Amino acid sequence: MLNYIALPLVGLFVGVFIVSLGGGGGAIYVGILMTLFHVSPEVAASTSLATMIPTTATGAYSHWKAGNVNLKLGKYMIMGGIAGVLLGVYLSDIIPPLWYNKIAGIIFVIMSIQMLASSFKNRKKGAESADRQASVPIWKIVMAVAFGILGGVMCGLLGLSGGGPIVAGLFVMGCSMMESVGTSVFVLTGLSIVGFLMHLGLGNIDWVLVGLLLIGTITGALIGPILLKHMNKKLLERILQPVMFLLIFIMGLTLIF
């Protein structure tokens, strides 16, 4: 009975604060399902991806209406991400999880440092977001595909959303933090669909868990962007940037050690 109350509340928290503000959420789902509800890793991964599909789709639409989605960069990230998901599923039978965790942790730490450096660089230039009107330079296309592949590998390998490298990559490429989050949610919609389809043959899905989580997450994904519209955007950027840097850095250290 407790699960029927706790899971929707967990979903609401993830929908508002992790999907809407953080641009991810899969890692939170997997961690909570495994540690608090004692769900097996296989079921947790598949359930996470199944839950992320409608959640990220809802969040992406809300962010698009709010003007927080950079479609030019997002489409290249999705292309790289799909390739990454396929690679991740293939590697899931080859690479020991311990090795992957350490490699992913090192990458996360490096990305957090890159985000911090880009933050100071953008402040000096006074840049607030990437230019959506001009054609995308080749170096940005290459970076978008590369970060998309990294996020896709995380999705395919462990059932995580892959939002960390997506958000970090977008910010490094010059997007504002809110644009990075909105575009990340858009990209993760595509990755979640591909990852879920690939994991169907690898793990079981507990549809009861999916349904309970969705009650809260879809509601949260709708509420989050609406709340953002009524908040001071510059203040939110100043608060969200260090929080995201810290979260990605801590996540990296946790995976390493």
User: Per residue in 114-164, pLDDT tens?
Assistant: 767 766 655 555 444 555 556 788 999 999 999 999 888 877 776 666 777
pLDDT for res 105: 73
Please list the rounded mean pLDDT of every run of 10 residues in the chain (257 residues).
Answer: 68 65 61 70 73 80 85 94 87 71 73 70 52 75 92 75 79 84 88 79 71 80 70 67 73 74
CA distance 185 to 5: 26
CA distance 166 to 164: 5
Taking a C-beta distance cutoff of 8 angstroms, is the pair 99, 244 a contact?
no
**Which structure tokens are listed for 217?**
């997450």
Spell out the alpha helix ranges (H) of the chain.
Answer: 2-13, 20-22, 26-35, 41-65, 71-91, 97-125, 138-158, 163-172, 177-199, 207-229, 233-256
CA distance 196 to 59: 18
Q: How many domains does the structure of the chain reveal? A: 1
Q: Provide the residue type at 29 as one letter.
A: Y
Q: Which domain covers residue 93, as residue numbers? A: 2-256
